[in-house]
Structure 1
């Protein structure tokens, strides 16, 4: 038996291979693993691929790469269920730890979402994102665009560009860096009326899913961000984290200071055990709902532009991002 860390990587490699309709090479797998929060190189990927080949879960097609076998599909669907359920929150915890942005020095790494958009649609997409930023839909006006030939670890499919947007889980990293224990808990859809939040219409726990809740809601097309921009009413995406109530005042200071670095989106900080917009909290815990960074991308998707988004994707030097 291999150790749990290797097993998690084997499962994620099989996921990546299964998501492609053609053989996938070790280099592309390594790039995508890095996008998903795994710090692993091409050489290590080849080692893991040999294990999968030996188990009969993948099949090698010369230099073209690997495909997943029927046995591999069964393993992906049935094996290590408990591990898969914990994958998202484990990846979040790792990226929170790697967030080192200094609010005083205004430099360091933040967590970003990565969205793939066809080159032919990028100009229209940027215009929509600008409109969304002007309407205070996003949590930061800063983005970064990666072309196919960009010298980075960001995977860019042929004919596409990758757009990095600030991820709201960055705030969890800022709170942790400030000495506040923080627990990301829910992702959900939040009803908006007269441009104010009313209630969560749906919530999914990060601990109870193998897919990021925000990605689930985007795939369901559960938002109406464009309508909020135009009329002030609709549905947008937000998530909730919990902190000790005793840290409320310090958390408020940190989150307000984040605004000086173009990081906004905090809705409020609840009291001990206070239910916020339908999201419950235990006694001694305070909830902090924050709008998510991909709301601007949801607006692009609503406009009929095809977008493939990976929330909570990787870390990025915030100074390399620029305002829309």
Structure 2
């Protein structure tokens, strides 16, 4: 799904079913890929092309609302947001990649209620295009809305375009900005919680996915813990996602561990890349246990002092010695 871009928001066709936009004012429409020699029942537009190649396709728009529907139509570069959604750059005129490769047959349409239209477009890969994956989106936007206005999520609707240009495919990933923070449990006999935040940047030229896990342990490997491997969001080349994971850790003053990523280039199969391992460490003081030990130590000291005082009092107040009388 395409997420909010600046103050506006988008929906993207990401499944086999049509994507739907609607609001309470009678405005509603759907978009879907056209069935053609390029494919049927497609969830998005995806192409494997040589540099210099051209492909023609179309998107179907249906006015399912009760009022006339004026729409602007355009293409723009896509990227992956920090949260893992696919978004478009805020201003289509700033496109520098696949958004520039798309030529739409019409930039404006008006559909009466119940009407539909095919929007043809042509995608031409530049002769000097770099190998790998390039992403864009073909968008229908409700016309007449100021760019500065706050739009609801139903106001724009589009379909994702994925282009894989032939050549050397070099998937790669980098883990950055790892931050770890330990929160002790209120129960001194329970493990605390370690929260690890990190950024995963796609430094290769293919879309990237994979699985990630967090390993952690106390001093000299005590109380080792590991999260289950979790599927990572797909990341467009050049984009970065932010990930947060938590795991229980019983720590004794310090915890160390690693972010372990098993990356995978989309469509290339698992096991193609070596794991990316990035170490971290953080203070991990079990404050509730420290407090308990302090209380116990205080009680022990108090008990010892009390015993000593009682012994001293017994010695001072005990019977004094007597001398025997001589006849």
**If the TM-score is normalised by the length of the shorter chain, which range does it land in?**
under 0.3
* Greater share of helix: 1
Query: Which has the higher Rg, Structure 1 or Structure 2?
Result: 2
| Bigger RCO (CA 8 Å, 6+ sep) | 1
User: What's the TM-score, normalizing by structure 1?
Assistant: 0.23
User: What's the TM-score, normalizing by structure 2?
Assistant: 0.23
